[in-house]
Amino acid sequence: MIDPVVLYGTSQPPAPSEEIVLGGLSFMVEGATVRHIRYRGVEMLRSVGFLVRDRDWGTLSPILTEVSRSTLDGFQLELRATFTSGATLPVTITLVADERSLTITARGAPDGMFETNRAGFTILHPADVAGCAAQIGHSGGVIETASFPDLIDPWQPFQDIFSLQHDRAGLRVLCELTGDTFEMEDQRQWGDASFKTYNRPLALPWPYVIEKDQVLEQSVKLTWTEVSERSDIPSVPKVDEATFPETALVLTAKDAERLSHTPSDITTVGPQRLLCHIDTALGETEAQIACFARLQAVLPDILYDVELICCFSPSVKDELVDMRAAMIETGFAPDSVLVCPSVDRQSTPPGSEWPDCPPLKDIHAIAAEVFTDLSRGGGMVSFFPELNRKRPPLVHLDFVSHGLCPIVHAADDISVIETLQAIPHITRTAKSFIGDVAYRIGPATIAMRQNPYGTRTIPNPKRERVAMADDDPRHSAQFGAAYVVGLATALAAADIAVWTPAAVYGPRGLEGPIVKAIAALAKCANEPVGTAEIRDDVAILKLGDRVFRANLTAQELEGLPPFGWE
């Protein structure tokens, strides 16, 4: 048996799971979550789970106790889940299933004032239902006929949900909800391979408080019937004549100063570019730029890209002119500059007011005047939802960029690997509105560099599997190497110009097996993409005359060791 630290970078074992089979129905029970609910092999729901989020959208880990279980006339399980957020919220969760239905109920009340952003059931429909016909039951008995979005919806495709029916692969699946008002997010835009239905509309204030002894009670009932007409997922087309992107590594001014003294730290990887993070909100901007100038003097034969985070004080033009003057004064000569307003690092959820910010068309027009001789970019230094909700005007842009992070909503191993399924949906949607403008991705790391959805990334001092953490132990383990090959495979068909799969230093830096994997991929920059597919948990990527394979599971598969690659 391979040491879990070697596989995952942590001794914390993966969450235990149990498969339940009832005739044609099968599902996995993992803690308080039911996953991969299938009938005769067709996935009806990706998962149903009772989740509680804190004020920074961190997912609280409950203490779970099994109360009872029975296999008479089906399957029944009763759990007690205890959540703590100042006060304690004990919830009794009951699962009842047979060959024709599955019902989960939850009931609890806190022992004091319980602060949360969300508490209740989260239902995930698999990304494969994109484009499928649906019927949405609203309050008052109104039934809406619609379909799941094909391209990723930047807002909420469905609201005021009391029931949701869809047809796919010969099944008509009905999900009925009680206990609150539910709505749906197109969760593909965060990288999750799912559509998420959740309770409490985002337009209501959060965080909110559940009062002491206030009863919280909800239920989810799933039923299904076979239908003669098949409604399958539309095929996601591949991009013809794609080439593999150039590889970049991200670094701060402090990192640049360190690298200038030990330039051999990146020799093994051999990136084509360095992504230089300059943040005017930190102050001493000229000193930041000077650090990159010193590094460029030491490593002149690499391209330097700047992500320039601006506060635009006292004005857009004044700040950009000052940045350009500092580059000239220090001798820093980047190849490109991406200008991003500082306020756009934080997400603007549905129902929220947009923060004060100069119009993007003005920002990029002025940037074109100031950085005339540089390649200029727009987009987000955060993630795709922020780009999808605030799309930049393209007239002055040479490229558009955004980052990726697979632990926004969940951090278990299965969920992280499943995010690779969503990447073709993201890239196809992005290319639908950026057209022929070059497309860059990054940083794209397991751990989160900055949290657009809260005031901080979630602390992870024990280096376990924690959603929205800035340090994930799997990055520097075999898991991280397999994941980065899978990421490269998922991105390859989209004809990305540059990708940034790691930092130079820090928890997302060059450490462990991921170094060898990134180095091998970096050698393939601008090679034509042949095969690029993830099938049966194996990523297969052909770049020029090189073929990469990666096992995305913890079991030996097709001659590859757990999370092994070649």
Tokens of 215: 């009863």
Specify the pLDDT at position 351: 76
Chain centroid to Cα 242, Å, comes to 24
User: What residues contact 409, with CB distance under 8 A and at least 6 apart?
Assistant: 59, 187, 190, 192, 196, 415, 467
State the Cα–Cα distance between residues 336 and 334, nearest whole angstrom. 6
State the Cα–Cα distance between residues 229 and 142, nearest whole angstrom. 25
Tokens of 391: 């799309």
State the Cα–Cα distance between residues 386 and 388, nearest whole angstrom. 6
75 phi/psi in degrees, rounded to 5: -145, 130
The helix/strand/coil state of 539 is: strand
Residue 203 Cα distances to 141, 155, 389, angstroms: 22, 12, 16
What DSSP string describes 285-308? HHHHHHHHHHHHHH-TTSEEEEEE
Among 519, 463, 491, smallest CA distance to 404 is for 491
Segment (H or E) for 249: strand 246-251
Domain locations in the chain?
A: 4-226, 246-524
Give the bridge partners for 171, in sequence order: 168, 226
State the Cα–Cα distance between residues 524 and 543, nearest whole angstrom. 7
DSSP H stretches of helix in 467-522: 478-492, 514-522
User: What residues contact 441, with CB distance under 8 A and at least 6 apart?
Assistant: 245, 401, 402, 403, 404, 491, 496, 498, 499, 500
State the Cα–Cα distance between residues 442 and 256, nearest whole angstrom. 18
Residue 440 contacts residue 434 (beta carbons within 8 Å): no
Among 296, 298, 279, smallest CA distance to 288 is for 279
> What is the edge-to-edge ordering of all strands in the sheet holding 538-543?
529-535, 538-543, 546-551
Specify the pLDDT at position 235: 47
State the Cα–Cα distance between residues 246 and 521, nearest whole angstrom. 9
Specify the pLDDT at position 109: 98
Residue 177 contacts residue 197 (beta carbons within 8 Å): yes
Residue 173 Cα distances to 142, 193, 451, 485, 537, angstroms: 18, 19, 35, 35, 26
Q: Residue ranges of the chain with pLDDT lower than 50?
A: 231-237, 239
Specify the pLDDT at position 435: 96
pLDDT digits (tens, 9 = 90+) for 380-400: 999 999 999 999 999 999 999
Residue 347 contacts residue 385 (beta carbons within 8 Å): yes
Residue 48 contacts residue 106 (beta carbons within 8 Å): no
Specify the pLDDT at position 93: 98
pTM score above 0.85? yes
Give the bridge partners for 391, in sequence order: none
Q: Which CATH number fits domain 246-524: 3.30.465.10, 3.30.360.10, 3.20.20.80, 2.40.50.100?
A: 3.20.20.80
Architecture of domain 4-226: Distorted Sandwich (2.70)
Straight-line distance from the first to the last Cα atom of the chain, in angstroms, rounded to the nearest whole number: 20
Give the bridge partners for 400, in sequence order: 378, 439
Chain centroid to Cα 296, Å, comes to 32
112 phi/psi in degrees, rounded to 5: -170, -170
Segment (H or E) for 196: strand 194-199
Residue 174 contacts residue 222 (beta carbons within 8 Å): yes
State the Cα–Cα distance between residues 255 and 261, nearest whole angstrom. 10
Q: SS3 helix, strand, coil % of the chain, rounded to 5?
A: 25, 35, 40
Among 435, 553, 427, smallest CA distance to 491 is for 427
State the Cα–Cα distance between residues 178 and 197, nearest whole angstrom. 12
Specify the pLDDT at position 296: 98
Specify the pLDDT at position 238: 52
Chain centroid to Cα 135, Å, comes to 28
Residue 50 contacts residue 120 (beta carbons within 8 Å): yes
Residue 148 contacts residue 161 (beta carbons within 8 Å): no
User: What residues contact 283, with CB distance under 8 A and at least 6 apart?
Assistant: none
DSSP count for the chain of H helices, then E strands: 10, 29
